[in-house]
Amino acid sequence: MIVPTNKPGNRSPWLGPVEGPVDASGKAIDTPGQPYDEDIALYEVAIERIARGEHYYDFIVAEQRARDYPVNPGIAVRLPTLAYIDAWLGRTGQLVAAIALMLAIIAVWWRRLGEEPEDRGRIRRLGTALVFVGASLGLNRHYFALHELWAGGLVALSFGLHRIGREGKGGRWLAAWLVAALALAIREHTLPYVLLMAAFALWQRNWREGAAWLLLVAVFGAGLWWHLSIVAQDVLPSDRHGPPWLVLRGMTGWLANVVQSSNLRWLPHFLAGPAVILMAFGWLGWRSRSGLFGFLLCAGYGIAFMVAGRWDNFYWGAMIAPSMFAGIVFAPRALAQLLAAAGIETTRKPAVN
């Protein structure tokens, strides 16, 4: 059975408008003329008002309320980091930053994949090409105000900078830590990545690095509490609660989020859905701690998307999509290893790193 990769009856929102917003159960609400891009319009207004000298917390709750956006719970109000960065950069600066981020992602992964001892040239070329496909969506100027677009790119950059399992390489994890800190300040959905980094560092008894990741979590927790406390001061008893995020969409939620928020959206469903699964599973073919990390990262976000997120939260997939693409280059190894474990002989033995 083919699992659909978008809401039945709707086109991918990245390609054009959908039929309309959805309710808490995921059913479409008939509201003719209401554009899907109202989220982005809200973020762009926030950027413009900051650029004019206004303070984010002086207007954001009232702005969301006026547009009939929920402000309760307070987490529905985005963190201000990206709005200030975009306002400071301006239109041209945002484009330059997007290009720089994409090139940085490609460069770090070119170097990282070049460290592969087996099939170095092929893995490096194909893997970097796939990284480019995953990161290139960040050049879509229409979505520069979208938090997940930047946070997801920064997660991919941080992952590429890190060298999991190597002690005595302070700079190797420090750069990854700094990039992840910026991603976390932009979007709280970066937290699972940071927690996984902390878990791996502690598992390998890299106590200093583990402490640094846990410190980042603590600082973020304090910052989020401060953000929510300020927002709460402007919330009125009459403000409606937002619809729940716990929707339990299952496999379709995972596939739809990643496909619709990546360049996989150009593929038909019967190709795009399996590609997502191969990207996640393929990381196990990279027989290293980085490969295990990549699999757990992709699978962890996948499980989260199966459980949480409404249909109109498809763009959450941009948090992980740029980090997933390189995994498919290792998929042949992973499949060969799976067949070997099952006692099925293959013509080509799986490569061992």
**pLDDT tens-digit map of 5-17:** 555 444 444 444 3
Work out how many domains the chain is built from and give that number.
1
Q: Considering the domain boundaries, does residue 89 fall inside one?
A: yes
Q: Residue 2 — pLDDT band, cuts 50, 70, 90?
A: very low
CA 231 to CA 227: how far, in whole Å? 6
Q: Considering the domain boundaries, does residue 4 fall inside one?
A: no
The vertex-254 CA angle with 251 and 260, nearest 5°, equals 125
Contact of 36 with 13, CB cutoff 8 Å? yes
pLDDT computed for residue 186 by the predictor: 98
Q: Which domain holds residue 159?
A: 38-341
**pLDDT tens-digit map of 224-257:** 999 999 999 999 988 888 888 888 889 999 999 9
Alpha helices by DSSP H, listed for 162-308, are: 170-186, 191-203, 207-232, 251-260, 269-282, 289-307
Contact of 51 with 69, CB cutoff 8 Å? no
Q: Considering the domain boundaries, does residue 210 fall inside one?
A: yes
CA 245 to CA 75: how far, in whole Å? 12
Share of the chain above pLDDT 70, in %: 84
Residue 51: C-alpha distances to residues 83, 94, 148 (Å): 9, 14, 21
Q: Considering the domain boundaries, does residue 1 fall inside one?
A: no
Q: Residue 287 — pLDDT band, cuts 50, 70, 90?
A: confident
Q: Considering the domain boundaries, does residue 215 fall inside one?
A: yes
Q: Considering the domain boundaries, does residue 6 fall inside one?
A: no
Contact of 138 with 96, CB cutoff 8 Å? no
Q: Considering the domain boundaries, does residue 107 fall inside one?
A: yes
**Does residue 205 sit in helix, strand or coil?**
coil
Q: What is the DSSP letter of 285?
A: G
**pLDDT tens-digit map of 299-309:** 999 999 999 98
Q: Considering the domain boundaries, does residue 349 fall inside one?
A: no
CA 73 to CA 189: how far, in whole Å? 16
For residue 189, what are its two tokens?
């959905």
**pLDDT tens-digit map of 162-182:** 987 654 444 579 999 999 999
* pTM of this prediction exceeds 0.95: no
